[in-house]
A and B are shown apart, each in its own frame.
Chain A
Amino acid sequence: MSYLYYPGCSLTSSAREYDLATRAVMAAAGVNLTEIDDWTCCGASAAAPISHLLSLSLSARNLALAEQTASDGQVLVPCSACYLNLKKAHDALRNDAESRATINDALEAVNLKATGSVRVRHLLDVLAVDLGERHLAPLVTRSLSGLTVAPYYGCQCLRPYPEFDDPERPVSMEPLIEATGAAVHPWEMGARCCGASLVSTQPEVGLERVFAILKAAKGADLIVTVCPMCQMNLDAWQARASRMAGEKLSITVLYLPQLLGLAMGLASHELGLDLNLAVLGDFREKITHL
């Protein structure tokens, strides 16, 4: 199995551990990743309100570069916001001749051309569908039995494109968590919004979303995420959300490939565990005794 790899900006800075863990788990599963050369920002959620065409063109630039490397390739994207932007550009290039023409007019300025021939895949899609428990379970060398994991999916890997899971009641992480030996925390918050950029721009509203999720995760040993924005909202803002709620809400938050990597016996430095902002002492304790 091989994929073109689009890390996106967050994975080079605030979410470096997501990048490390993704690469480490894929390598351990025998999957080959080729990083798209000279990739640039997808525009995040900031480009679209300023210009719809700019947003599509920024993403299409990356798809054009991917096509140059492998015209029938698949682009693996770990960040949900990047995933949705690339997917929208792919959709416009594939399914709308007029948009395709305008986007390519724009790309002419940087000497590129995109057709939409490469497929855009979220990391969770690849982990759950292409690899699945059948490929991952045999790689588990250290059972995480005794841990309870709350799977947090967030929004943009599920909606508006329901590619690989139920966009209202997602379940794709469950077999993967169970393959590690851990139990799944039963909750209804897996697909509820984390507040996204509101946590930065309108904190009094955004932190309410964070608080509701952390509260519902009580009883679990950790939350796993598949998006740097969700991760940052749930780990970096825990203290503020707790203060606002007048209730202690600390919980360990890992990226899904970090959890899988632990079960596959990968070392914590390979998974960037020391870079996480919320790994509690009792969690560390638990995993060292597994």
Chain B
Amino acid sequence: MNPQSVTTLPTAEESSESLDPIRAMVSACIQCGTCTGSCPNALEMDLTPRKMWRLVILGRLSAVMESKTFILCSDCYTCTLRCPRGLPLTEAMEALKGIAFARKEARHRGSRLFYEKFMETVRRHGRIREMEFMTRYFIAMKSPVAPFRFAPLGLKLMGKGKVELGGGKSGDTPLGALFEKVADLERTPAATFRKEGHQ
């Protein structure tokens, strides 16, 4: 666990503006630790979810970005379900991934490329072609060992005829226009969205 104090106030030179929307999501946190106790991946995280929310509230952007905690969130929604304040925690973890990807944080490069290459395939074809996506991911990773991690699975799937080799029967609907329109809309700051469901 990271011994770093979580009560230090933000330093003046650090601009934490990008954290503001996430801060608003978790500002009612009472530091009860239910999220940490519920998280299947908490043991592998350098900061527990509870400590992470504390740093977010304090606006400690660089300390948050140094952590792997949000990258290790597997979207299981257990913390969201159990948080006594009903906070949208999974969505807040997702938003932290988004900030790290936008900042092109070196330590989160592998995960960022995985997400980006996935979306690139969706943009081009409308549907995911697993082989094309994995190939793009490994090329972007420029890691000689990465393909070997996937190879046994890739061969198994190919052997079962489960990999699209392109030009197959599945549809091809490029979504460039939708992606561009969304990007346009996001440049105009009006858009705000309701947070994930609590019923």
Contact = CB atoms under 8 A, between A and B. Distances in A.
Interface in A199-251: 200-206, 208-209, 236-237, 239-240
Interface in B34-81: 40-41, 44, 71-72, 74-78, 80-81
A63 interface: no
B198 A106 contact: no
A84 to B, nearest CB: 8
Interface string B177-199: 11111110110001111101111
A1 interface: no
Contacts of B198: 160
A198 interface: yes
Contacts of A239: 152
A43 B122 CA distance: 8
A271 B40 CA distance: 33
A35 to B, nearest CB: 11
B156 interface: yes
Interface string B92-108: 00110110010000000
Contacts of B163: 13-14
Contact of B114 (A158, A201, A277): A201
A275 B192 contact: no
Interface string A1-27: 000000001101110100000000000
Interface string B143-165: 00000011011001100111110
Given A49-B101, A105-B185, A277-B160, A41 B110 contact: no
Contacts of A46: 114-115, 118-119, 122
Interface string A157-199: 0111110000110000000000000000000000011011110
A116 B190 CA distance: 22
A38 interface: yes
B197 A41 contact: no
Contacts of A237: 153
B122 A105 contact: no
A205 B72 contact: yes
Interface stretch (A69-77, A96-104, A128-136, A261-269): A96-104
Contacts of A205: 41, 44, 72
B111 interface: yes
B126 interface: yes
Interface stretch (A54-62, A140-148, A280-288): A54-62
A48 interface: yes
A45 interface: yes
Contacts of A16: 162
A51 B186 contact: yes
B151 to A, nearest CB: 12
Nearest to A90: B197
Identify the interface centre among A156, A198, A204, A274: most chain B CB within 10 Å of its CB. Answer: A198
Contact of A40 (B126, B193, B196): B126
B170 A155 contact: no
Contacts of A51: 98, 182-183, 186
Nearest to A236: B153
B81 A167 contact: yes
Contacts of B76: 155, 159, 193, 196
B3 interface: no
A159 B194 contact: no
A99 B193 contact: yes
A121 to B, nearest CB: 15
B173 interface: yes
A139 interface: no
Contacts of B152: 239-240
Given A50-B101, A205-B72, A161 B197 contact: yes
Nearest to A41: B122
Nearest to A155: B76
B199 A110 contact: no
A99 B194 contact: yes
Given A47-B119, A98-B192, A275-B160, A106 B182 contact: yes
Interface of A: 9-10, 12-14, 16, 38-41, 43-54, 56-58, 61, 87-88, 91-92, 95-96, 98-99, 102, 105-110, 155-156, 158-162, 167-168, 192-193, 195-198, 200-206, 208-209, 236-237, 239-240, 274-275, 277
6 contacts: A16-B162, A43-B122, A49-B95, A51-B186, A99-B193, A236-B156
Please list the 4 inter-chain residue pairs (A to B) with the smallest Cβ-Cβ separation, ordered nearest first: A159-B77, A109-B181, A193-B76, A49-B97
Given A156-B77, A193-B76, 10 more contacts: A14-B162, A14-B163, A16-B162, A102-B191, A105-B181, A110-B178, A193-B78, A195-B40, A196-B75, A201-B71
